[in-house]
Amino acid sequence: VQLQASGGGLVQAGGSLRLSCAASGATLDYYAIGWFRQAPGKEREGISCITYIGDRTYYADSVKGRFTISRDSAKNTVYLQMNSLKPEDTAVYYCAADLFGNYSGSYYFAYGMDYWGKGTLVTVSS
């Protein structure tokens, strides 16, 4: 599966962005999808994921209540709606996939997923 994240950009603090993770060569309904980010000089951070079975969603504490992950099967796309953005949300955001994945968020956030796309840069100005 080939993944492509898009939708990043420059936004002021308090603003919103919606990231998209599109796939070619596979149907995302069969995958757990995760969103990860990496800020300059920092380690990769898992921030949200949605499982293959039951579409269970998980969020890191740093984004809980502000970000929402969702799946649009018709468009074969997974979205990350980001609201109330903060300067500390500035990072390159990546989507990743795990075929038939059903692990918890803590597992995926710690160990990552099998397939990765190129990232999209989100910059939040203060």
**What pLDDT score does 3 carry?**
96
Dmax over CA atoms of the chain, in Å, equals 40
CA pair distance 93, 71, nearest whole angstrom = 17
Q: Residues 48-85: pLDDT tens digits?
A: 999 998 889 999 999 999 999 999 999 999 999 999 99
DSSP 3-state helix, strand, coil percentages of the chain (rounded to 5)? 10, 50, 40
pLDDT of 92: 98
Q: What is the DSSP letter of 112?
A: -
pLDDT exceeds cutoff 90 at 24:
no
Answer whether 34's CB lies under 8 Å from 48's CB. Answer: yes
Strand partners, 6: 20
Minimal CA–CA distance to 95: which of 27, 46, 52, 62?
A: 46
Q: How many CA atoms lie within 13 A of 54 on its CB side?
A: 6
Average pLDDT, the chain: 96
